Amino acid sequence: MLQHCHMSIPESMIARLLNVVVLDVRSNQLKSLPNSIGCLSKLRVLNVSGNLLQSLPATIEECRALEELNANFNQLTRLPDTLGFELHSLRRLSVNSNKLTSLPFSTSHMTALRALDARLNCIRALPEGLENLVNLEVLNVSQNFHFLRELPYGLGLLTSLRELDISYNSISVLPDSMGCLAKLNKFSAVGNPLVCPPMDIVEQSLDAMRTYLSSRMNGTGVNAKKKKGWLPRMVKYNTFSARMTPGRKSAHDNSEGFSMSDYHSLNGSASPGFLSMLSPRRLFSPRRDSPKHH
């Protein structure tokens, strides 16, 4: 752990750290990181929490061995746009307690990511392509307060998701696709003005919430245009693989099981029973387009 770095890390110091695997510079007064940090090709863990950083250098994406990035309690207003394009080994990204208004689109390319903590920011929306994070087990976007008002339909395609905290935001409607989060066993939505599903159903159990959302997903109340947009993707990303290929064990079942504290846990176990409500004929039969008029 490097201490008393004050305002910056000298470039000359990076030259002496080329073989370092863990770099911990937390709780200093750093206002910037050197661009040469990208030279640390063996770096696996970087902790820059508790500093005064307003940005991270784009060259951090060159640390391709990086597995854990902690940048909590800084003054970050944005992350590098290309951050996720090269960090294919990143398993944990923690950027809580900053001033972020969004996460970069490239976040959806971090396919090895297991835990994402972006609470206590000013995030207005989650990135498109969120469903690509097929290994994500823990997601915390709580306490973005009045900034975060909705969740993307792709959230329901995160088939490995076990823990989700969206508490203390301004979310009134949960996407119906969340009815397919069969592995979800910890969920908190307190402090939101939820109307769909009603809060009493959410507080009843996860099973009750999943049943409610999956009923809407298969019912007449769901906007047809939205259904067509995300149901085919659920097939593409094997959301229904447990039903289509019974007995096949997921390649991700031996995951390390990241966990996140400070959860309001709801009783109820995952039940795939709601999948029987979805008609395979409706989902997989060819679409019949109406004849075009010339």
Q: For 178-198, how does the pLDDT look when each residue is reduced to its tens digit (9 = 90+)?
A: 999 999 999 999 999 999 999
Using the 8-state DSSP alphabet, how is residue 120 labeled?
Answer: S
- The DSSP bridge pattern shows strands 45-47 and 92-94 to be unpaired
Domain membership flag for residue 232 = yes
Here the tokens at position 123 are 């995030």
Here the tokens at position 269 are 């176990």
Please give the residue that has the higher pLDDT: either 139 or 254. Answer: 139
Here the tokens at position 44 are 């696996």
Domain total of the chain: 1
Q: How far apart are alpha carbons 196 and 209 in whole angstroms?
A: 10
Domain membership flag for residue 291 = no
pTM comes to 0.75
- Residue-level pLDDT at 42: 97
Mean pLDDT for the chain overall:
81
Q: How far apart are alpha carbons 262 and 239 in whole angstroms?
A: 28
Q: For 18-50, how does the pLDDT look when each residue is reduced to its tens digit (9 = 90+)?
A: 999 999 999 999 999 999 999 999 999 999 999
Q: For 85-138, how does the pLDDT look when each residue is reduced to its tens digit (9 = 90+)?
A: 999 999 999 999 999 999 999 999 999 999 999 999 999 999 999 999 999 999
- Residue-level pLDDT at 1: 56
CATH of the domain at 135: 3.80.10.10
- Residue-level pLDDT at 221: 44
Q: What per-residue string of b and e applies to 132-161 under the rule 16 or more CB within 10 Å gives b?
A: bbbbbbbbbbbbbeebbeebbbbbbbbbbb
Domain membership flag for residue 288 = no
Domain membership flag for residue 285 = no
Q: For 206-239, how does the pLDDT look when each residue is reduced to its tens digit (9 = 90+)?
A: 999 999 999 998 874 444 344 444 555 554 444 4
Domain membership flag for residue 142 = yes
Q: How far apart are alpha carbons 272 and 159 in whole angstroms?
A: 12
- The DSSP bridge pattern shows strands 163-165 and 138-140 to be parallel
Using the 8-state DSSP alphabet, how is residue 211 labeled?
Answer: H
- Residue-level pLDDT at 223: 45
Domain membership flag for residue 16 = yes
Domain membership flag for residue 78 = yes
Residue 93: strand, helix, or coil: strand
N- to C-terminal Cα separation, the chain:
72
Domain membership flag for residue 157 = yes
Range of the domain at 232: 11-279
